[in-house]
Amino acid sequence: MHNKFGKTLTLVMGDWSDAGRTAKFQTSSKTKGWRTCFKRNGIDCILLDEYKTSSVCPHCNSSEFLQKSFKERPHSRPWRKCEGKIEKVHGLLGCTTPNCMQQDWTTRAGIEIR
C-alpha cells in the first residue's frame, strides 16, 4: 500500500459495532485484526464512530431537515418477484436546510471526520 499511496498513508475506517454481539466497551475482533495488520505494516489507522452518520448533515450538523425517501421496487429474491411482491429500499439522503451550502442528494459520500 505504501508503494501505491505513499509513505504518509492514514486509513480511516468504521468502528464495526457488530450489531450488539460485542461486549460493552470491548473491541470487535474485526476491528482488532485490521488494526493489528495495519500497525505491523506501519499504516496509521483512525476509527470513525458511525453512529448517526446517516441522520445528521455533515456540513451544517442539522438533524431536523434531513430527508430519507424510501423507494419501492420489485423484490430482490426471485421467488418473491414471481409472486409480485414489492420491497422498500432506502433512497438518497439530502439536507433541506435553506442555509446549508451542501443541498445536493448524496449516498453518504460527503461524511467526514469532525
Q: pLDDT, tens digit, for every residue of 75-94?
A: 989 999 999 999 988 766 66
Please calculate the CA angle 105-109-114 and round it to the nearest 5 degrees.
110
* DSSP symbols for 63-89: SSSEEEEEEEEE-SSHHHHHTT-EEEE
Domains of the chain, by residue range, sit at: 2-48, 52-114
pLDDT at 6 over 70: yes
Mean pLDDT score of the chain, rounded to an integer?
A: 75
Q: Closest Cα partner for 113 from 35, 47, 42?
A: 47
d(CA 96, CA 57): 10
Q: Tens of pLDDT along 42-79?
A: 888 888 877 777 677 777 777 765 666 778 889 989 99
How much is the average pLDDT of 7-31? 74
- At 114 the pLDDT is 42
Instruction: Give how far Cα 57 sits from Cα of 15, 70, 105, Å.
Output: 20, 18, 11
